[in-house]
């Protein structure tokens, strides 16, 4: 209940911030733009719309996750609004979870809004609802939850600019490590292989959660893929959140 | 003895940024607050009052020492259900309305009853914000923020109130209202500890005061125990003295203040008779003559002065 109050308050902050609206507006605009592009290219109709649509859902989600996420704890400390929370019967871990859930809720609204826009456009073209995109959207959402957890983690001990840079690099490296791993498999250097492998396990494997290509090109997924990918994501989130709580537990609220 | 707050050797050391120099914000504080009392916490800027309050609420971790609230160690989060805290210069969310904020606070205490909903309105009336319930906090003035801060501190009907400079930013009427509110809460059996720079507020509402200077509790006790009840000096006002006489007085090292054709003189006890005879003999006309007891201000100023290098350390020079 207390956690819910914190989450709703965080959600409300994001909702009442005009930045969010402009972001969503912009994203929907881009999906609209893809319609024009789609008409200009030959090949399977709506493929570009789907590509563009899914990509913009992800990119704008990441932008929101980072921009809002890096301020989650920092802003409360900076503006001292946190005094009136932690002086009340609230555990510090409750504060962390509440903040996290608030942003996840915000992202859910973003992903839902944009998905509905995408589905409407596709319905107009294909005359049916593009249910096949749902797994990809689900995985995007899991990836966004991971990014949010990272932003929150950094936000609990660092400044927004640093947190933003850290989070962004985790996002980028998270998409690159599988490729790197492939590359260095052929390398001679043993240490290079170890380092890359270590990186591979420390950074989130966001490529694992990226099934946009398969979905758009109607490639089959392995059995249980979605289940294990989600499980992987949730475990990852759990670890990052626990780490944030441990860091935050003993911090002085100055 | 029964107590609501008890601290032992409570200390807090900060590290200055970059230089990592130690800042002893609070040193070995020993404090016991008993149920139902109003305790005033005095001290110059940077004395450690806010630090003490933050330690009591678990916002800061002590560097040393222990804290008990209601005889239990601070770790138990439920203890905070019985506390109301007003931070100094309270901050709120700009995007909320006053009423929304109080409802948010209510949920943080897990107060969901119909009764607690009504309390939000009642509190906004009590602190003098009845017309601003649905206004965005962003548009509030300093004093209005202070009032809202007080309302949120009372939302859980706390047994113990910790108020960091509750009167700051308030107009004279507002200050009187808060003073009355504190007395009212005291009559309801609440325990209140608050910090202030306004000595007259302490004199009117506090049962006990503590004077904190540079992290050390210098004096602590009921006001009448701390202040010397004996008459220490006299203050007299006289007019119609010749210039030579005034000059003569000044040469004797007396403390004179001239205002218009009136002269105010502070004189130690036992010397007042001789001085008075002398002045009247010289043709002076007595305007007023009053014995003076030690005031809280005297005590406070003396305490601060007795710490020689206080000003040096704050960087005020001299
Ligand atoms: N976060 C911090 N980092 C470093 N030093 C700090 C920090 N917070 C407080 N201090 C130092 O601790 C000392 C006590 O500060 P505190 O805020 O408790 O004073 P105060 O009595 O509340 O003063 P005021 O009357 O101005 O509110 C000061 O010397 C201050 O510089
Ligand atoms: Mg202070």
Q: In this complex, do A250 and B61 lie within 8 Å of one another by their Cβ atoms?
A: yes
Q: Is A146 within 8 Å of A154 (Cβ atoms)? A: no
Query: How far apart are alpha carbons B117 and B62 in whole angstroms?
Result: 36
Q: Sorting pLDDT into bands at 50, 70 and 90, what band is B315?
A: very low
pLDDT of res. B308: 55
Least confident among A22-26, B123-127, B252-256, B259-263: A22-26
B50 Cβ closer than 6 Å to some ligand 1 atom: yes
**Cα pseudo-dihedral B152, B157, B159, B160, rounded to 10:** 10
| C-alpha torsion sign, points A36, A37, A40, A43 | negative
Least Cα distance to A5 among A106, A97, A70, A80 occurs for A97
Q: Is B120 within 8 Å of B102 (Cβ atoms)? A: yes
The full set of domain ranges for chain B reads: 5-225, 231-293
Q: Kindly identify the ligand whose nearest atom is closest to the C-alpha of B213.
A: 1
What is the dotted CATH code of the domain comprising B231-293? 3.30.70.600
**Residue that the structure tokens 């109130």 belong to:** B161
Across chain B, mean pLDDT equals: 87
- Is A254 part of a structural domain of the chain? no
DSSP for B56-75, written as a single string: HTTSS--SEEEEEETTEETT
Q: Is B31 within 8 Å of B49 (Cβ atoms)? A: no
Q: For chain B, give me the number of helices (H) and strands (E)?
A: 11, 14
Structural domain for A183, as ranges: 2-249
B290 Cβ closer than 6 Å to some ligand 1 atom: no
Query: How far apart are alpha carbons B234 and B279 in whole angstroms?
Result: 14
Q: Output the residue whose Cα is nearest ligand 1's atom 26.
A: B45
Query: How far apart are alpha carbons B11 and B5 in whole angstroms?
Result: 15
Sheet-wide strand order for B83-86:
B83-86, B160-164, B191-195, B38-42, B208-213, B216-222
Mutual angle of helices A47-69 and A160-185, in 10-degree steps: 130
Q: Which of B93, B152, B154 to mutate to test the interface with A (most CBs of A within 10 A)?
A: B93
B47 Cβ closer than 6 Å to some ligand 1 atom: yes
pLDDT (tens digit per residue) in B121-176: 999 999 989 999 999 999 999 999 999 999 999 999 999 999 999 998 888 888 88
Within B187-272, strands assigned E span 191-195, 208-213, 216-222, 231-239, 255-259, 262-268
Query: How far apart are alpha carbons B172 and B51 in whole angstroms?
Result: 27
Which span out of A118-127, B16-25, B61-70 was modeled with the highest average pLDDT?
A: B61-70
Q: If contacts are CB pairs under 8 Å, which of residues 70-99 in chain A contact chain B?
A: 79-81, 83-91
pLDDT of res. A125: 81
Structure tokens at B175: 């200050």
> What integer is the mean pLDDT of B15-44?
90
How are beta strands B231-239 and B285-293 bridged, if at all?
A: antiparallel
Query: How far apart are alpha carbons B168 and B149 in whole angstroms?
Result: 12
Q: Is A151 within 8 Å of A233 (Cβ atoms)? A: no
Q: In this complex, do A13 and B93 lie within 8 Å of one another by their Cβ atoms?
A: yes
Q: Is B191 within 8 Å of B160 (Cβ atoms)? A: yes
Least Cα distance to A89 among A166, A28, A2 occurs for A2
Q: Cα A86 to the chain's mean position, in Å?
A: 28
Q: Sorting pLDDT into bands at 50, 70 and 90, what band is B316?
A: very low
Give the closest-approach CA distance of A86 to chain B in angstroms.
7
pLDDT of res. B311: 52
The interface pTM score, or ipTM, of the predicted complex is: 0.86
Q: Is B250 within 8 Å of B256 (Cβ atoms)? A: yes
Q: Cα A93 to the chain's mean position, in Å?
A: 21
How are beta strands B191-195 and B160-164 bridged, if at all?
A: parallel
- Within 8 A of B110 by CB-CB distance, chain A residues are 1-2, 89
Q: Is B128 within 8 Å of B178 (Cβ atoms)? A: no
DSSP for B17-66, written as a single string: TTT--EEEEEEEEEEEE-TT-EEEEE--TTSSHHHHHHHHTTSS--SEEE
Q: Kindly identify the ligand whose nearest atom is closest to the C-alpha of B51.
A: 1
Structure tokens at B6: 């008890």
How are beta strands B64-69 and B72-73 bridged, if at all?
A: antiparallel
- Is A109 part of a structural domain of the chain? yes
Give the closest-approach CA distance of B203 to chain A in angstroms.
28
pLDDT of res. A231: 93
What percent of chain B has pLDDT above 70?
96
**Cα pseudo-dihedral B129, B135, B139, B145, rounded to 10:** 30
Give the closest-approach CA distance of B43 to chain A in angstroms.
20
* Cβ-Cβ contacts under 8 Å for B314 (sequence gap 6 or more): B45, B46
Q: What is the pLDDT along chain A (254 residues), one digit of tens a residue?
A: 899 999 999 999 988 887 677 777 777 787 777 777 777 777 777 788 888 888 888 888 998 899 888 888 888 998 899 999 999 999 999 999 999 999 999 999 989 988 888 888 888 888 888 888 899 999 999 999 999 999 999 998 888 899 899 999 888 888 887 787 777 777 777 888 888 888 778 888 888 888 888 878 878 878 888 898 899 999 999 999 999 999 999 888 88
Residue B277 is classified by DSSP as: H
Q: Sorting pLDDT into bands at 50, 70 and 90, what band is B268?
A: confident
Q: Is A127 within 8 Å of A120 (Cβ atoms)? A: no
Least Cα distance to B196 among B180, B220, B175, B217 occurs for B175
> What integer is the mean pLDDT of B23-50?
92
Q: CA geometry: angle at B196 spanning B215 and B39, to 5°? A: 80
Architecture of domain B5-225: 3-Layer(aba) Sandwich (3.40)
pTM: 0.86
Q: Where are the alpha helices (DSSP H) in B154-295?
A: 172-187, 199-205, 223-226, 243-251, 272-281
Q: Cα A190 to the chain's mean position, in Å?
A: 34
Q: Where are the alpha helices (DSSP H) in B154-235?
A: 172-187, 199-205, 223-226
As for how many domains chain A has, the answer is 1
Decide if B5-225 and B231-293 have a common fold. no
pLDDT (tens digit per residue) in B190-218: 999 999 988 888 888 999 999 998 888 88
Q: Where are the alpha helices (DSSP H) in B127-208?
A: 142-153, 172-187, 199-205
Q: For chain A, give me the number of helices (H) and strands (E)?
A: 11, 0
């Amino acid at each position: 209940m207390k956690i819910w109050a914190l989450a709703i308050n965080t959600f409300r902050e994001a909702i009442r911030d005009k930045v969010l609206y402009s972001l969503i507006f912009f994203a929907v605009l881009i999906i609209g733009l893809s319609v024009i592009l789609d008409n200009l290219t030959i090949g399977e109709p709506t493929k570009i719309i789907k590509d563009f649509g899914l990509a913009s859902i992800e990119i704008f989600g990441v932008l929101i996750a980072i921009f809002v996420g890096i301020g989650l704890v920092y802003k409360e400390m900076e503006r001292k609004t946190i005094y009136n929370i932690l002086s009340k019967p609230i555990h510090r871990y409750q504060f962390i979870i509440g903040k996290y859930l608030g942003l996840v809720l915000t992202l859910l609204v973003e992903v839902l809004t944009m998905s509905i826009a995408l589905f409407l456009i596709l319905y107009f073209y294909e005359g049916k609802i593009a249910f096949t995109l749902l797994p990809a959207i689900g995985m995007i959402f899991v990836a966004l939850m991971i990014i949010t957890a990272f932003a929150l983690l950094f936000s609990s001990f660092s400044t927004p600019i640093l947190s933003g840079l850290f989070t962004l690099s985790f996002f980028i490296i998270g998409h690159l490590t599988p490729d790197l791993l492939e590359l260095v498999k052929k390398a001679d250097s043993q240490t290079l292989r170890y380092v890359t492998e270590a990186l591979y396990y420390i950074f989130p494997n966001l490529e694992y959660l990226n099934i946009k290509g398969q979905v758009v090109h109607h490639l089959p997924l392995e059995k249980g893929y979605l289940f294990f990918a989600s499980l992987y994501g949730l475990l990852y989130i759990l670890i990052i959140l626990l780490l944030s709580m441990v860091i935050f537990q003993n911090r002085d609220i100055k | 003895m029964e107590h609501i707050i008890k601290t032992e050797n409570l200390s807090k050391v900060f590290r200055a940024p970059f230089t990592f120099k130690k800042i002893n914000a609070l040193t070995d504080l020993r404090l016991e607050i008993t149920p139902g009392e109003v305790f005033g916490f005095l001290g110059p800027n940077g004395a450690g009052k806010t630090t003490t309050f933050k330690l009591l609420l678990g916002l800061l971790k002590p560097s040393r020492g222990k804290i008990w609230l209601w005889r239990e160690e601070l770790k138990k989060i439920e203890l905070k259900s019985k506390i109301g805290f007003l931070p100094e210069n309270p901050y709120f969310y700009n995007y909320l309305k006053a009423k929304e904020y109080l409802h948010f606070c209510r949920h943080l205490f897990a107060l969901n009853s119909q009764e607690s909903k009504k309390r939000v309105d009642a509190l906004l009336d009590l602190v003098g914000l009845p017309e601003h319930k649905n206004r965005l906090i962003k548009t509030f003035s300093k004093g209005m923020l202070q009032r809202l801060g007080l309302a949120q501190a009372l939302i859980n009907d706390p047994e113990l109130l910790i108020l960091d400079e509750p009167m700051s930013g308030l107009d004279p009427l507002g200050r009187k209202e808060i003073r009355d509110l504190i007395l009212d809460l005291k009559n309801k059996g609440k325990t209140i500890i608050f910090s202030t720079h306004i000595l007259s507020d302490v004199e009117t509402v506090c049962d006990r005061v503590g004077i904190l200077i540079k992290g050390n509790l210098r004096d602590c006790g009921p006001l009448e125990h701390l202040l010397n009840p004996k008459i220490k000096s006299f203050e007299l006002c006289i007019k119609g003295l010749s210039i030579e006489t005034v000059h003569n007085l000044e040469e004797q090292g007396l403390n004179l203040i001239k205002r218009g054709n009136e002269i105010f003189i502070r004189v130690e006890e036992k010397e007042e008779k001789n001085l008075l005879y002398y002045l009247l003999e010289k043709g002076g006309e007595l305007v007023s003559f009053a014995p003076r007891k030690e005031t809280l201000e005297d005590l406070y100023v003396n305490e601060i002065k007795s710490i020689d290098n206080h000003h040096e350390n704050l960087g005020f020079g001299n």
